[in-house]
Amino acid sequence: MGASDYQRTSPANEFLLEDFRQRTVKQPAIEHSFDFKDDRGGKKLLLDQIVVGIAITLAAEGATSVLQGAEFGTSYPRLPAAPTVSIPLLDRIPIFGDSLFQQPLVVYLGFGLIGLTAWLLRNSRPGLNVRAAGQRPQALDAAGVSVVTTRSLAVMTTGALAGLGGGYLAIAGAGIFVPFMTQGQGYIAIVICMLARGRPLWVLIGAFIFGMSLQLATALQIAGVNISTDVINMIPFVAVILSLILFARGDFLPPALAQPYVRGAR
């Protein structure tokens, strides 16, 4: 999406461009993952945002473990089962009716967010801004929209949704919090998003496939298959590696993803 394409998709861009020519767009106060500029006009840190994100993730995992130990010591209190909502008729479908249509309310919220996200990214101005911030941030800046603010809001929104997913895992899924209980599954989600090439529906399909591979461990234990737990825990990650080998040749990542934006830089 070049500058001309972005201008055609936003009706108010002519006004914004004219306003942009008349004044200098000030840098926003909100900055994106250590990509900031001080009040004296100093240079941005320009750190690799993927590395910074991994560091924050590891620090947060350690912090939650410390907080859990400080509050509960070596005990792990269990929570009561989360209430479920059944969808009439659909929950009677053989094989997967109970699994899909007899779930806590937050699961149905997730299904709805898939459709809402797909619509927003393709048919709304905020969604077009988000896409431009990852594909052609120069075009977004030329239209008078702050790249840093757009990216920051996107990070905060997706971070909140990731937190909602983590809360579901501990409260509704397991009913107990154990340090490092995600076991690196968040990185599988990143691979799913990459293989889906930015299409929310394919993200949902990929999540279902890898979710089944995660449940394979339980199925093997119920069947009485005597396999080491370490080998069972490797299955999802082996599936990720195979998926990358088979399908990652045509993967799509926004060219400006995780790249600090500097106005005027080439």
Neighbours of 225 (CB within 10 A): 10
User: Does residue 65 lie within any of the structural domains?
Assistant: no
Q: What is the mean pLDDT of residues 244-264?
A: 75
Determine the Cα angle at 186 with ends 238 and 65, to 5°: 115
Torsion of CA 128, 156, 258, 110, to 10 degrees: -70
**In terms of residue numbers, what domain contains 162?**
1-23+77-178
Residues pairing with 86 in the sheet: 102
User: Does residue 165 lie within any of the structural domains?
Assistant: yes
> CA end-to-end span of the chain, whole Å?
17
Contact 254, 135 (CB under 8 A): yes
User: Does residue 93 lie within any of the structural domains?
Assistant: yes
* pLDDT tens string 153-204: 998 998 899 888 888 888 888 888 888 888 778 888 888 888 888 788 888 8
User: Does residue 198 lie within any of the structural domains?
Assistant: yes
Q: What is the pLDDT of residue 130?
A: 92
Q: Which amino acid is at 68?
A: Q
Q: Are residues 85 and 5 in the same domain?
A: yes
Q: Are residues 197 and 244 in the same domain?
A: yes
Among candidate residues 149, 178, 207, the one where a domain is terminated: 178
Q: What is the pLDDT of residue 16?
A: 39
User: Does residue 72 lie within any of the structural domains?
Assistant: no
Q: Are residues 154 and 216 in the same domain?
A: no
Helix and strand numbers (H, E) in the chain are: 11, 2
Which one has a higher pLDDT value, 21 or 228? 228
Those residues whose C-beta lies under 8 Å from the C-beta of residue 55, and which sit 6 or more positions away, are: none
pTM over 0.75? The answer is no
Q: How many CA atoms lie within 13 A of 168 on its CB side?
A: 15
Among candidate residues 153, 178, 203, the one where a domain is terminated: 178
Number of domains in the chain: 2
Q: Are residues 91 and 162 in the same domain?
A: yes
Q: Are residues 107 and 153 in the same domain?
A: yes
Find the helix or strand (DSSP H, E) in which 219 lies: helix 200-222
Those residues whose C-beta lies under 8 Å from the C-beta of residue 20, and which sit 6 or more positions away, are: 142, 143, 144
Average pLDDT score, the chain: 76
**What confidence category does residue 252 fall into, taking pLDDT thresholds of 50, 70 and 90?**
low
Q: Are residues 16 and 107 in the same domain?
A: yes
Among candidate residues 162, 178, 194, the one where a domain is terminated: 178
pLDDT at 95 over 80: no
User: Does residue 7 lie within any of the structural domains?
Assistant: yes
Q: What is the pLDDT of residue 33?
A: 41
